[in-house]
Amino acid sequence: MSGVELGFLQECAPWQVESRLFPSKVGGKPAWLDLDNLPTPERLQCKNCQQTMVFLCQIYAPYEGVNESTQDCYNFHRTLFVFICRNPKCCQRNSSDNIKVFRSSLPRANKFYGYDPPQDKPDPEFSLNKLISLCNLCGCMAEKQCSKCKNVYYCSREHQILDWKEGHKRECCELPRDRLSKLLFSQWEIITEPEEEIEDKVISEEEELQKFNQLKQEGKIGTMCNVPESDLNDHASADQDKSFTKFKKRISYDPNQVIRYQKGGSPLWIASEPLPEGIPDCNFCCGPRRFEFQIMPQLLTMLKENELDWGVIAVYTCVNSCADTVNYKEEFVFKQDVELKTI
pLDDT exceeds 70 at position 176: no
Q: What is the dihedral of CA 234, 236, 240, 244, to 10 degrees?
A: 0
Which one, of 254, 318, 268, 264, lies nearest residue 292 by Cα?
Answer: 264
- The pLDDT of residue 66: 56
> pLDDT: is 341 or 66 the higher one?
341
pLDDT at 76: 93
> Residue 129 has what pLDDT?
87
- Between 91 and 237, whose confidence is greater? 91
Where exactly are the structural domains of the chain?
A: 5-196+253-336, 199-250
Distance of CA 142 to the CA centre of its chain: 23
- The mean pLDDT of the chain is 87
pLDDT digits (tens, 9 = 90+) for 193-225: 999 987 545 445 566 566 556 655 665 444 444
pLDDT of amino acid 224: 40
Percent of the chain with pLDDT over 70: 83
pLDDT of the residue at 31: 98
How confident is the model over 244-258, as a mean pLDDT? 95
pTM across the whole model:
0.86
Please check whether residue 281 is in contact with residue 289, taking contact to mean a CB–CB distance below 8 angstroms: yes
- Each residue of 8-20: pLDDT tens digit? 999 999 999 999 9
pLDDT in tens, 280-330: 999 999 999 999 999 999 999 999 999 999 999 999 999 999 987 779 999
Q: Where in the chain does DSSP place strands (E)?
A: 5-10, 25-26, 54-60, 66-67, 72-73, 77-84, 99-106, 144-145, 153-154, 188-194, 259-261, 289-295, 312-318, 329-336
